[in-house]
Amino acid sequence: MLRFVGAYIIVTGRDSGFFEAESRRLVPVAGPLEGRVAFVTGGGGGLAEGICASLAADGASVAAVDVSREKAERVAELAEANGASAVALEVDVSDRSSVEAAVADVARELGGVDILVNNAAVYPRRAWTEIEEEEWDRVMAVNLKGYFLCARAVYPYMKERGRGNIVNVASITFFVGWTLLLDYVASKGGIVGFTRTLSREVGPDNINVNAIAPGAFPTDAEKIHPDQEGYNRWVLEQQSIKRRGTPEDIGNLVAFLASDASSFISGQTIGIDGGWMMR
């Protein structure tokens, strides 16, 4: 990674007071995630774009893993533009063999797995009385079981390394309660419990596990709302900070939780919603 390094030089002189000079040059600097490998599910999605870019900018190699190969490739290319090694894989996180094969491929190709970002989700919007049993099972399989399968698959690699960071993407909807998304919201609540208990299970292996609860971000997920302008206005009314959140905001938080700077934080669910939901 190349970063500007600046030195501010003050030279004092007997007669003339002092001279001031600033020198700036580009030097290679090791990022906080240099040498780490990140496995990001839902890796072709809107928030994943910010997540993969931030991890890459901090020096991590990134595997963008998505049920859509095309979407994963787009995000992996963006991460590569940030100077990282990046690969794209087509994986259904609800399918154990697909997950295990992908984790093994990534470990072989990029040299292990240090960071897992569980981010894949589906979010069908309809009245709760219209949810078919198979649809309920599908939402749980992707949004909750998928998180377990990925954590289970990366665990041996993290244990072998003697450290690891797991970040689970939950949602503000769990804390608020959100109509027309009953199965989705239930799955997001499950992620909070999953995060707490997994944190206790793997803490002794020096692996920290945290969740983030995003508010509203303008990705494909938001397109489920019929009145986009009205929704945008309503979101800004809810937030303390009067701008819309961006994938970069999410990326910054995930990169922090994936780094050693967060090594004493575990089992937490951190809201990132512009000061909307306060707990």
Ligand X SMILES: NC(=O)c1ccc[n+]([C@@H]2O[C@H](COP(=O)([O-])OP(=O)(O)OC[C@H]3O[C@@H](n4cnc5c(N)ncnc54)[C@H](O)[C@@H]3O)[C@@H](O)[C@H]2O)c1
Which residues of this protein are in contact with ligand X, per CB under 6 A? 41-42, 44-48, 66-68, 71, 91-94, 119-123, 142, 169, 171-172, 214, 216-217, 219-222
CB of 214 to ligand X, least distance (A): 4
Q: Which residue of the chain is nearest ligand X when measured via CB? A: 45
CB of 221 to ligand X, least distance (A): 3
Active site residues: 184
CB of 101 to ligand X, least distance (A): 13
Q: Between 143 and 208, name the residue whose CB sits nearer to ligand X.
A: 143
SS3 assignment for the chain:
CEEEEEEEEEEEECCCEEEEEEEEEEEECCCCCCCCEEEEECCCCHHHHHHHHHHHHCCCEEEEEECCHHHHHHHHHHHHHCCCCEEEEECCCCCHHHHHHHHHHHHHHHHCCCEEEECCCCCCCCCHHHCCHHHHHHHHHHHHHHHHHHHHHHHHHHHHHCCEEEEEECCCHHHHCCCCCHHHHHHHHHHHHHHHHHHHHHHHHCEEEEEEEECCCCCHHHHHCCCHHHHHHHHHHHCCCCCCCCHHHHHHHHHHHCCHHHCCCCCCEEEECCCCCCC
Q: Between 172 and 257, name the residue whose CB sits nearer to ligand X.
A: 172
CB of 5 to ligand X, least distance (A): 34
CB of 82 to ligand X, least distance (A): 18
Q: Between 59 and 214, name the residue whose CB sits nearer to ligand X.
A: 214
Q: Between 163 and 225, name the residue whose CB sits nearer to ligand X.
A: 225
Q: Between 31 and 214, name the residue whose CB sits nearer to ligand X.
A: 214
- Amino acid (one-letter) located at 201: E
